Amino acid sequence: MLIKHQIFLLLYLIHLNESQANFLHQNLANKRCWFEGWKDIICTGIKSIAQLNSEIAQTIRQAGALSEDIKGLVIEQCTFDEFSLKTCSIISNITELSMVRNSINRIVSGSFQELLSLEKLNLIENEVWNWENKTFSGMQKLQMLKFEQTGWKRLPYGIFNELNELTELSLNKNQLETISQEDIQTLQKLLLLDLSNNNLDYLSSSTFGHLENLKILRLGFNRILDLDDEIFQNLSSLNELSLRGNRIYSLPNDIFNNTKKLEKLIINDNRIADIDETDFEGLNELKHLNLANNKLKGLKFGAFEDLSNLETLNLADNAIEEMEENSFRGLFNLSELYLANNHLESLPAGIFEEMPKLGNLVLSGNKLPQFRRIFTKPHQLLRLNLFNNSIEYIEYGSFENLNNLQYLDLQKNNLGVLNNDMFQGLIQLETLYLRENDIVDMEESVFENLPSLKNLYLDINNISSLENKYFSKLNKLLTLSLEQNQIQELLAGVFANLTSLTYLNLNKNSLQKLKSGTFKGMTSLRCLNLVENNIKILNVGCFEDLSKLEVLNLAENNIQFISSDILNGLTEVTVLHLWGNNLEHLESGTFKNMKNLHYLFLDDNVIKDIDSGAFEGLYDLKVLSLSNNSLKQFNANNFPSLNASYIYKLTTMNLNNNKIKSLKQSDFKSFKLLNELDLSNNDINYIPKSIFSYLTSLASLNLSDNKIESIEPRAFEKDYFLTSLNLNNNKLQRFNNDTFMGLSGLYNLYLENNSISDIDLNILSKMSSLQYIYLSGNKLKEENLKEIAEKYSSMPLYHF
C-alpha cells in the first residue's frame, strides 16, 4: 500500500510548479499519516499512541472524511514504549490493520479489543520485547492473522486462546523450534495454518488433533526428519498439504489414512528414497502430487495405484534409473507427468499406456541414447519433451501412435541424420524443436508427414545445404529457424512452397550470395533475418515475391553495393538493417521504392559518399542511423528541397563517429520534426549562428568529442524545445553573453573536459529551466566555482 501511495504522489508532483512542489514537500516532511485511496490510512515515524491518535485525527479532518469511513490502517516503522489501541476510538471501525517493521517495548493485554470490526491483522517483521498473554483478547470478529518474522523460537503461552473465530493463521518466516497442541488448541475454526520457513524438527501426533476443519496445512522449509504416523489422523477435511523443503527420508505407513479429501500433496525437496505401494493408499481425491527433487531411484509396481483422480505428478530432479512396466498403473486421469532430470536410460514399451488422458510428458534431462517405440497403442498425448537427452537414434514408428501430438522438443540431443518417416504419424504436430543436435543431413521427405507443422527450429546444427524438397509439404509453416548452421548456398525456390511462412531466420550461416528467386513464393513472409553471414553479392530479384516483408536484417555481412533494383518490391518493409557491412557509396534513389520504411540502420560501414537524392522516397522514415562511417560532410542534397516533404517525419538521426568537418544551416532545412541529433565524434570545429534554426522540434543535441573551439552568438537562438545539449570533450574556452540565447527549455548542459576558464553568471541565468550543468575537467578558478555555487545553491544543481 505504501509503495502504491508513493507512486501516486510522484505522479502528482510532476505536474506542480517549483514553489508548489517545495511547499508540498515541506508539508509532507512534517506529516506522519496520510490517506491511501479514500478508505485507508498509512502512518510512519510515530513515537507514541497519543501522537498516533493526533496524527490520524488531523489526517481525517484535513481530508474532510468521517472516522467511520476508515477501513484500513498501516502502522510502519514506528517506535512505541507501550502499545495499545484501547484509546484509539477514531479507528474503531477498521476491518484491516497492518503493523510492519515497528519497534515496541511492550504490547499489553487487550491492545486490539476496541477494534470491534477488525477481520484481518498483519504483524510482520516487528521487534517486540514483551507480549502479554491476552494480547488478542476481545477480538471477536478476527478471521485472518498473519504473524511473520517475529524471531520467536516458541509461541508465548496462550497467545491465541481467545481467537475463536480465526480461520487463517500464518506463522511463516519465524524461528519456531516447536509447536504443540496447547499453542493452537482454541483455533477450532481454522481453515488455513501456515508454519512454513521455521525451524521445526518434530511434530507430535497430537499437534493438529483438534483442527477437524483445517483445509490447508503448510509445513514447508522446516527441519522435519520424521513424521509420526498419526500426525494427520484427525485432519479429515484437509485439501492441501505442503511438506516441501524438509529432511524427510520416508513416509510412515497409513500416514494419509484419514485424509480422504486431500487434493494437493507437496513433498518435493526432501530426501525420500523409496515409495511403497501403500504410501498413498486411500487418497482417491488427490489431484496434484509433487515428489520432485528427492532421492528416488526407481518406481515400484503399482506405486500410485490408488490415485485414480490424480491429474499432475511431478517426479523431476530425482535419481530414477528405471521404472517397472506398471509403475503408473491406476492413473486413469493423469494429464501431466514430469520426469525431467533423472537418470533414465531406457523406457519399457507401453509404460505410459495406462494413462489415457496424459497430455503433457516431460522427459528432458535424462540419459536416453535412443527413443524407442514405447507408445504401442494410439494415445492422446499433446506435448512430449525430450530436451537434453543423449538421443542418437529414433526407432522407426516411434511416433506413429501419437496422432494428436502438437509439441515435440528434441533439442540438445545427438541426432546426426533425419530420416524419411522419422516423424510418421505426427499429423497434428504444430511445433518441432531440433536445435543443438549434430544434424549434418536430412533426407528429402523427412518433413513430409507433418502437414500441420507451424513452427520448425533447426538452429545450431551442421546443416550445409538445403534441398528443394525439404519443405515442399509444409504449406502451413509460420516460423522456420536455421540459425547457426553451415549453409553456404540457397537454391532458387528452395522455400517456394512455404506460402504461409511469416518468419525466416538464417542468421550465422556461411552464405556468400543471394540469387535471383531465392525467396520466390514466400508471399506471406514478414521478417527475414540474414545477420552474420558472409554475403557479398545481392542479385537483382533476390527479394522477389516478398511483397509483405516488414523487417529485413542484413547486418554484419560483407555487402559492398546496394541499389534500388535490388530492393525493388520491398514496399512494405518498415525496418531495414544494413549496419556492419562494407558499403562505401549510396547512389541516388537507392531506397526510392521503400515508401513505408520507418527505421534505416547504416551504421558501421565505410560510407564516404552519399549521392543527391539517395534517400528519395522515404516518406515515413523516422530513424536514420549513419554512425561509424567515413562521411566528411552531410549535404542537404541528400534530402533535396524539391522533395522536402518526404523526409518530414524523421525524428532521430545519428551521424556520430564520422569525419564531418563543417555544418551549414541549409543541411537541416528538411527536418522539421527531428527530435534527436547525434553529431558526436566528428571533426567539427565551429558552430555558426542559427545553425539549427530549422530544427524547431529538437530536444537532444550531442556535439561531444569534436574539435569545437568557437560557438557563434545566438547559435541556438531558435531551439526553444532543446532540453539536452552535450558539448563534452571539445576545445571551448569561453562563452559570449549570447552563446546560449534562446535555450529557455534547456534542462541538461554538458561542458565537461573543455578548456573553460571562466563562466559569466549572466549567461547561466538566461537558461531558466536549467537543472544540471556538468563542468568537471575544465580550468575554472575557485572563486568562479564558489560564485556559481553561492548564487545557485538549490536550483539548478551544478556538478563539477
Q: Are 610 and 586 in contact (CB under 8 A)?
A: yes
8 Å CB contact between 279 and 248: no
The residue to which cell 512505541 is assigned:
80
Number of helices and strands in the chain (H, E): 5, 48
Residue with grid cell 499433446, as numbered in its chain: 382
Judged against a pLDDT cut of 90, whether residue 46 lies above it is answered with: yes
Q: Which of 11-20, 55-64, 250-259, 304-313 has the lowest mean pLDDT?
A: 11-20
- Beta-bridge mates of residue 170: 146, 194
- Helix (H) / strand (E) containing 710: strand 710-711
Q: Are 535 and 559 in contact (CB under 8 A)?
A: yes
Determine the average pLDDT of the residues in 660-677: 89
Residue 450 is assigned to a structural domain of this protein:
yes
Asked if residue 255 belongs to a domain, the reply is no
Q: Could you give the number of structural domains in the chain?
A: 2
Residue pair 109/84 in contact (Cβ under 8 Å)? The answer is: no
For residue 385, is it within any domain? yes
Partners of 701 in beta bridges: 677, 725
pLDDT of 2 > 50? The answer is no
Q: CB within 8 A of 501, min separation 6: which ones? A: 477, 478, 479, 480, 495, 522, 524, 525
Using alpha carbons only, give the angle 573, 605, 592 rounded to the nearest 5 degrees.
35
Where is 56: in which H helix or E strand? helix 49-63
| Residue 772 is assigned to a structural domain of this protein | yes
Category of 119 on φ-ψ map: left (φ > 0), alpha (ψ -120 to 50) or beta: alpha
- What are the residues whose beta carbons fall under 8 Å from the beta carbon of 461, sequence distance 6 or more? 434, 435, 436, 437, 438, 439, 440, 484, 485
The string of pLDDT tens digits covering residues 276-305 is 888 998 899 999 999 999 999 999 888 899
The answer as to whether 607 is a domain residue is no
Strand pairing report for 623-625 and 599-601: parallel
Residues 643 and 621: their CA atoms lie apart, in Å, by 13
Question: Does 93 map to a domain?
Answer: no
- Report d(CA 496, CA 491) in Å as an integer: 10
User: What is the helix (H) or strand (E) element at residue 83, kind and residue range?
Assistant: strand 79-83
- The set of residues, in sequence order, having a beta carbon less than 8 Å from that of 151 and lying 6+ positions away, is 127, 174, 175
Percent of the chain at pLDDT exceeding 70: 93
pLDDT digits (tens, 9 = 90+) for 476-512: 999 999 999 999 999 998 999 999 999 999 999 999 9
Closest by Cα among 754, 775, 734, 728 to 786: 775
> 727 in a domain, yes or no?
yes
Distances (CA, A) of 28 to 20, 59, 559: 12, 12, 62
| The last residue of a domain, from among 445, 462, 479 | 462
End residue of a domain, out of 423, 439, 462:
462
pLDDT surpasses 60 at 1: no
Whether 647 has a pLDDT exceeding 80, the answer reads no
Tell whether 62 is covered by a domain.
no
Distance CA 515, CA 419 (A): 29
With cell 543423449, the residue in question is 390
Element (H, E) at 24: helix 18-30
Looking at the DSSP bridge assignments, the partners of residue 724 are 700, 748
Task: Out of 446, 462, 478, pick the residue that ends a domain.
Answer: 462
Q: Which domain holds residue 787?
A: 717-800
Indicate which CATH number applies to the domain containing 417: 3.80.10.10
- Residue 17 is predicted with a pLDDT of 39
